[in-house]
Amino acid sequence: MTRISLQALLLIGLAAALTGCIGPGYYAQSLKGHVEVMAARRDVAKLIADPATPEPLRARIRAASAIRQFASDALDLPDNASYRSYVDIGRDYVTWAVFAAPEFSLVPRVWCFPVFGCVPYRGYFSKQSAVRTAAELEREGFDVHVSGVTAYSTLGWSSDPLLSTMFLRDKTYLAALVFHELAHQRVYINDDTAFNEAFAVAVETTGVKTWLRAAGDQAGLRRYEAGLKRSGDFVALVARTKSELAKIYAGPGSATQKRVAKSAAIDRLRAHYRQMRDASWGGYRGYDGWFDAPINNAKLAATSVYSDQVPAFIRLFELCAADYPRFYAAVRRLGAHAKANRAEALEAAQTCE
C-alpha cells in the first residue's frame, strides 16, 4: 500500500504564492495549516514527566523518544529538534495529497515551484480543499487520486513534531515514519520526487530492520519481513498492470476502445490480487482497501513514485557495507548527476564510491 510523505508543503506554497505559480489561496491554506500544527506542539520530555499525561499516551511518546534517539545514534540521521515534540491533531490524516494523470497515460501531472522543483502532487491541510481540487482536475479530463497523509516533512526548515496520526498503528510503523521523514532531512534532491522517496523508503526499510534486531525482537522482524514480501508482491503486480496499460495507451484503437481495454486490465488486476491474497498470502486482507477503492492512472502512478527505485537503493546500501554515512555520501554523489541520467546511474552503480 502506498504511504505518502509530503515534503515542504509550507515552503512550496510560499514559493508558489510569491511567484504566481499557484494562487494565494493555496499558500494561505499551507501556511495556516502548518502554523496551527506548530503552535500546538508540546515538548516530549515535559509530556512524559507531566502526571496529567494519560498513561497510554506517555507509553507511546516514551517509545517514540527512544526511536528518535536510535535514528541519530544508529542510523546517522539528523540529531536536531525534529520529532522531540508532539501534537494531537484530532483527525486521522494531517494532510491530503492530490495526484492526477491523463486518461491514457501513466505519467503523473506535476506542479513546478521555484527552489524545490517539480512534484507529482498538490498537498492540502483541508480534505475539502483536496477534494475540490480533485473535482476540478476531473472536469479537465484527468484521472485523479486523493490520499490521506500521516506525516510530512519541512526538510529541517522547522522542527517537525510527532503527530497523533503517526501513532495510529504499532511501534514498527512509527519507527518507519520517523526514519523515513528524517531521511529527507539527510538527503533531498530538488525536482526528483521518485529519487527522494525511494531513498527515504530504503532508509526506512533498512533502519526498521536494524532497530528490530537491536531490540532483539525476532518475532517483530519476521512480521516486518513478511510485510515487505507482501509489499514487493503488490508492487510487482501493479508494475505488470502498468506495463499492460502502457501498451494499450500506445496502441491503435479509438478512445472508446482504449477505455474498455483499460477497464478490463484493471479488472484483471483486482482478480490477480484476490488470487495472490488467497493462494500466496494465506488470506491476508491488508490491501483490500486499496483494491476495493477506485483504481486509475493517477493511483497507479502514485504507487510507482514511491517504489520503483527502492531495490536499487537497497543494493547501493549493501554495496556500502550497510554503513549509513557512506551510503548517504554515495546518494549525494548520485544526486549530483543530471536528472535525466540519475536513475540510470543508480541502477548501474557497482561500488559505493
Q: Are 171 and 63 within 8 A, CB to CB?
A: yes
What value does the mean pLDDT take over residues 161-187?
A: 94
Distance CA(191)–CA(205), nearest Å, equals: 23
Residue 147, H or E segment = strand 143-149
Q: What is the mean pLDDT of the chain?
A: 89
Question: Which phi and psi angles does 169 have, rounded to 5°?
Answer: -125, -155
Distance CA(37)–CA(89), nearest Å, equals: 7
Kind of pairing between the strands at 85-87 and 162-163:
parallel
pLDDT > 70 fraction of the chain, expressed in percent and rounded: 90
Task: Identify the sign of the CA torsion 186, 191, 192, 197.
Answer: positive
Distance CA(150)–CA(168), nearest Å, equals: 9
pLDDT tens per residue across span 178-220: 999 999 999 998 888 889 999 999 999 999 999 999 999 999 9
User: What per-residue confidence (pLDDT) applies to 120?
Assistant: 86
What value does the mean pLDDT take over residues 284-311?
A: 92
pLDDT tens per residue across span 87-141: 999 999 988 989 999 999 999 998 876 555 678 888 888 899 999 999 999 999 9
The one-letter amino acid code at 313 reads F
Q: At residue 239, does pLDDT exceed 80?
A: yes
Q: Which residues, at least 6 apart from 272, have a Cβ–Cβ distance to it below 8 Å?
A: 237, 240
In angstroms, how far is CA 272 from the centroid of its own chain?
Answer: 25
Q: At residue 266, does pLDDT exceed 60?
A: yes
User: What per-residue confidence (pLDDT) applies to 276?
Assistant: 97
How many helices and strands in the chain, by DSSP H and E?
14, 10
User: What per-residue confidence (pLDDT) applies to 7?
Assistant: 46
Q: Are 3 and 19 within 8 A, CB to CB?
A: no
Q: How would DSSP label each residue in 28-86?
A: HHHHHHHHHHHHT-EEHHHHHH-TTS-HHHHHHHHHHHHHHHHHHHHH----SSTTSEE
Q: How would DSSP label each residue in 181-212?
A: HHHHHH---TT-HHHHHHHHHHHHHHHHHHHH
Question: Nearest to residue 124, comparing CAs of 137, 115, 141?
Answer: 137
- For the record, the C-alpha cell of 352 comes out as 559505493
Question: Nearest to residue 328, comparing CAs of 183, 130, 173, 122?
Answer: 183
Name the band, by pLDDT with cuts 50, 70 and 90, for residue 157.
confident
Name the band, by pLDDT with cuts 50, 70 and 90, for residue 14.
very low
User: What per-residue confidence (pLDDT) applies to 27?
Assistant: 56
Is the pTM above the cut of 0.95? Answer: no
User: What per-residue confidence (pLDDT) applies to 121?
Assistant: 87
